[in-house]
Amino acid sequence: MFSQGCPAGSSPAMAPAALDPAQVAGAVDRYMALREFRARLYGCLTARADALFELCDAILCADHAVTSLVQLSLVPEFRRGHGALYDALAAGQVDEEALAALLTGTLPQLVDGPEALAWVREHDTIDYGLLEQALAAVPAAQAAQVREACARWRRLRFAIDATPYPRPDAECSPGRGHVHHDACRCDSTRKTIPGWEYQFIAAPGHLRTAWAALVDVERTTPATRTAQTARQVKNLLRRLHAAGAGRDGAPLVIMDAGYSAAALTAALAGQDAHLLIRLASGSVFYADPVTWEGRYGRPARRGAAVHCLEPADFETAAGHGPRGRKKPLPPNPEPDETLVLPGTPLFGTVQAEAWHGVHPQIHGDRGWFAGRTHLPVLRGTLIHLTVERLPDGRDPHRAMWLWHAGPGPLSLDELWRAYLARFDIETSKPQCCHRRGLSALSSVPSRSVFMLAA
């Protein structure tokens, strides 16, 4: 028997499935959030706003590497002629502070997707209500440090790194220098090319992905890198505070070995932020001097030295003894804390050793501290990280040394995992500057919306 209204030989019409109200509400919320973000982004464009806004859509929606401005003008999302594109880049203006505030207040909270949020909920087993009850009778300073250490699953993390913007043909461009790049035009030995260097701040997620939320970018030079990095971090903290973000714990700022740990620790002293910086091999840190009542002689200036060397390197890195004779360096003291994680999926056995309360030796005649009469003692935590293997199966050719300084101590498990998440920015940078073809756009101004909107 056929249903009424259906011709013979045909199947009855299927009624559409009822929509889940929760899914509909979630889709509407995401649409409204995206609509508000785009409206605020449009408000950051103060001149040639329509053309610049469509240019942003074209950059994001192009399904191929953009190698010329003419190509970009042919993307369907850019509905104007190519002349409007050049006019937007030449005469367009961007409220850079408003744009940076928009990105800082919006994107870091969205970098973790549903999978990452589920992973965080699975691992965050802290009963925060019970924690507050337990800390009610603890002194305020100690309670603040405990809350800071327990905020690892809610803490915002930001990675800072620089990327080259090659401009080999722009001989009259101001501020152009030599930047490290594989596409070197000089010779086969030097890995530099004329161009600019830009420094990014991006928020990586809790899980290893190829995405990171870029929130700030500035052109930098090696001579001003430390001062500029400190200024960028302070601006980041100010924007987070204005947006009401980062209240669950001080943000963790992660940097590679090209940054001075001592200079940045001094420049950002007193700021509500944690620093995690990779150290160059061969760095030396010192513990506080040990003294006791009744000890004679001049007080010691430094305690035991901790050298950022592997055990096999202590023989070759010998110091100078009496009469110029070389002697092996003494071994490092026992670490204050050790963490061993056997059988991790990517790295096998992971071991982290920490020396707390150590400080670097700084000099008042060079670098950041040149000309200072009173040199600070910069205490922090020195971390020695070793892994059994690399994710591709190769043996690691050396260990990693990290420096942590901040309002309070953090767990070794959080620190080593956070530093590995920094490598997500390495894939985000090429997507913005290289895969999109910006390195080939020689006519883009130095402060154009390309580098800002990307």
What would the pLDDT profile of 118-172 be if each residue is shown by its tens digit? Answer: 888 888 888 888 988 999 888 988 888 888 888 888 899 999 988 888 887 877 8
Task: Work out the average pLDDT over 291-316.
Answer: 77
pLDDT at 316: 65
Say if residues 203 and 156 touch (Cβ distance below 8 Å).
Answer: yes
Q: What is the pLDDT of residue 440?
A: 38
Domain count, the chain: 2
Q: Please check whether residues 43 and 170 belong to one and the same domain.
A: no
The reply to whether 448 falls in a domain is: no
Q: How confident is the model at residue 335 (pLDDT cuts 50, 70, 90)?
A: very high
pLDDT of residue 425: 77
What integer pLDDT is reported at residue 240 of this predicted model? 92
70 and 142 in a common domain = no
39: domain range? Answer: 23-94
Residue 383: pLDDT over 60: yes
Domain for residue 134, yes or no?
Answer: yes
Residues 208 and 280 grouped into a single domain: yes
Q: Within a domain: residue 30? A: yes
**Residue 440, domain member (yes or no):** no
In a domain, 146, yes or no: yes
Query: Mean of the per-residue pLDDT values for the chain?
Result: 82
Q: Distance (Å, rounded) from C-alpha 451 to C-alpha 163?
A: 12
Q: What pLDDT score does 175 carry?
A: 78
CATH at residue 415: 3.90.350
Query: Rounded to a whole number, what is the distance in angstroms from the first to the last CA of the chain?
Result: 62
- Using pLDDT thresholds of 50, 70 and 90, give the confidence band for residue 300: confident
Confidence tier at 441 by pLDDT (50, 70, 90): very low
Instruction: Check whether residue 84 and residue 139 sit in a common domain.
Output: no
450 falls within a domain = no
- 3-class SS at 45? strand
* Dihedral in degrees, nearest 10, Cα atoms 238, 149, 349, 283: 60
pLDDT at 340 over 90: yes
What span, in angstroms and rounded, lies between the C-alpha atoms of 346 and 111?
22
Is the residue at 447 inside a domain?
A: no
Residue with the bigger pLDDT between 106 and 5: it is: 106
8-state DSSP, 135: G
- Per-residue burial over 339-369, b if 16 or more Cβ lie within 10 Å, else e, is bebeeeeebeebbbbbbeebbbebeeeeebb
CB atoms within 10 A of CB 233: 23
The number of C-alpha atoms within 13 Å of 244 and in the hemisphere containing its C-beta is: 0
Token code pair at residue 438: 């910006």
DSSP element (H, E) containing 195:
strand 192-203
pLDDT of amino acid 119: 86
Residue 439 pLDDT grade (very low, low, confident, very high; cuts 50, 70, 90): very low
Residue 93 has pLDDT above 90, yes or no: yes
Reported as a single tens digit per residue, the pLDDT across 252-295 is 999 998 899 999 999 999 899 999 999 988 889 999 888 777 77
Verify that 160 and 270 share a domain, yes or no: yes
Task: State percent of the chain over pLDDT 90.
Answer: 30
In 250-347, at which residue ranges do the beta strands (DSSP E only) sit? 252-255, 274-278, 284-286, 305-307, 319-320, 326-327, 337-344
Quick one: which H or E segment has residue 31?
helix 21-43
Give mean pLDDT, residues 34-59: 92
pTM (global) more than 0.75:
yes
Instruction: Give the alpha-carbon dihedral of 424, 425, 430, 431, to 10 degrees.
Output: 70
Q: Give CA–CA dist 215/266, Å, rounded.
A: 24
Give the span between the Cα atoms of 159 and 277, in whole angstroms. Answer: 10
Q: Two tokens at 140?
A: 């305020």
What mean pLDDT comes out for the span 433-452?
36
